[in-house]
Amino acid sequence: MFTRRQTIGLLGGGGATLALGTCAAETAAQSAAAPLADDRRWLAKLGEGLRQEYDYAPDVEGRLPDGLAGTLYRNGPGLFERDGAKKRNLLDGDGMIRATSFESGRVRFRTRFVRTRKYLAEEEAGAFRYPTWTTPAPGFLDNIPCIPSRSQAGITPVVKDGVLYAFDEVGGPYGLDPATLETRREIDPYEGAADSGPANYKAHTKTDGATGRWVLVGQRGRVSPELHIMVKDRAGRQERHVAQPNPRGAAYFHDFFWAEPYVVFYLQPALLSPLPMLAGFRPFAESLDWRPDEGGLLFVVDTTGARPPLTVEVPAVWMWHALNAYTAGDTIVADFVGYDAPDHFLGPNAALHAIMQGREGTAEAPGTLRRLTIDLTGRRARLETVAAGRYEFPVVPPARAGRKHRYGYVASLDSGQGWFHDGLARIDTATGAIAAFHFGPGHYVSEPVFVPDPAGAASTAAEDRGWLLAEVLDGASGTSALAVFDAAGLKAGPIAKVRLSHHLPMSFHGWWQAA
């Protein structure tokens, strides 16, 4: 990795000219996308930050389930603009925790920005100062190299041992007080020498539904990173730490599979072209090249060390999120949402870019539920489609994580092209049967979070016994609500809605903490 001084010396003054020209060309390409139609302008609210932090008791429509007691934490970007500068992509922005607490039929809703070092420095300056995943800093020299160096803590919330963790993919997670939402500090979960563990943690972790083990992965190095895996027991003690060279170098991945004792990385052919990024004229996301002809690569790591790591070639698929994985003899079954191409994310007219300028964008390749069946002895894998449709944000009931599952729950788009989902679906992975509810055009629906019904905690027969909680943005009113569904009766629609007095911007992931 080059230092900033080394990179400036290497590139000389010509880099600045090239940087300015490239940024202008990208802006022109983005502006070529058609403006959002009148009945779709409300979608821009997903990229509109909140100007204040909230704490109030919202109205409830319908009847909340008696057993629904605890707090739903969600995380996502809550601030997209400072001093006239705006983030380029819907997936980029300073992290904002939103907490919806349920107790005896009463509801309390709160939001709080994660006070990261980046957030505090830019709050004091009144302007963006650091490059992020999709957006350069305003000053050219601040973009050499154009690599995120400070966490936005805006992707995933996880509660462990009385700490609410807010994850990004830079550095370590930030710890917050789960009761007050006050930010404590950046935390390194690794129990070892600072220079022997991961420098940057991935946003996703896994909690084993049977053992309670907490599995985290991370990387050390940007251009050719080393992969790190940590396994902590239910009490938070580190049991295992495995470090392996990434067999694909700088291939980008966001999530991973856990099937005790294995971690499976799907190293998709999204490969980093580092020189434009080091030069300071392209941010990280725009330095990724999608090369489907090079195929995908599975990297299977036994965290106990009982068998050596295994690599298996598979077809090229873009994956944001795993549904679940489990072992069946000497086979690993891994379900996920996959795309034939990431056209909704990569490219100047990608939907997640264009919406930030109030324009339509490309999202032709659908996210479908797919399955990898990995034969560890035969060193081969089969890829198949479990359910066609347009899906994202897959989840299983927490008790099934790392164990055989039947049902997967996803955000779903009813019909047509696009990426912005308007409903939820339950997919039977054994039969392919789909039960769904869609709010219809004019709505955006976030990731569902499965909340187990405590009355059915002792039963393993009905894995769908519980509720689904999902944020819904209503385009007509410009406000959001939290919809509550009976997981087994999803097709009947929400049984209750927690109606907010304002909109909520895009959020990614949630965590349910029972009372």
Query: Which residues define the annotated binding site for Fe cation?
Result: 204, 254, 321, 509
Q: What are phi and psi of 345, to 5 degrees?
A: -120, -45
Closest by Cα among 158, 157, 136, 156 to 145: 136
Omega prior to 261 cis, within 30 of 0: yes
**Three-state secondary structure of 428-483:** ECCCCCEEEEECCCCEEECCCEEEECHHHCCCCCCCCCEEEEEEEEECCCCEEEEE
Report the 10 Å Cβ neighbour count for 369: 23
What DSSP string runs through 222-233? SSSPEEEEEEE-
- Contact assessment for residue 197 and residue 190, using Cβ atoms and an 8 Å cutoff: yes
**By the 8 A CB rule, do 51 and 451 touch?**
no
CA atoms within 13 A on the CB side of 12: 1
Contact 156, 75 (CB under 8 A): yes
Q: Whole-angstrom Cα distance, residue 399 to residue 397?
A: 6
Q: Is 178 exposed, middle or buried (0-12, 13-18, 19+ CB in 10 A)?
A: buried
The alpha carbon torsion through 400, 402, 404, 408 (nearest 10 deg) reads 60
The binding site comprises: 204, 254, 321, 509
Helices (H), 266-329: 274-279
Measured CA to CA, the distance from residue 366 to residue 339 in angstroms comes to: 6
Tokens of 367: 């996210």
* DSSP string for 137-200: -SSGGGGSS-S--S----SEEEEETTEEEEE-SSSSPEEE-TTT--EEEE-----S-TTTS-SE
- The CA-based angle 469-159-105, given to 5 degrees, is 40
Report strand pairing: 466-474 vs 449-452: antiparallel
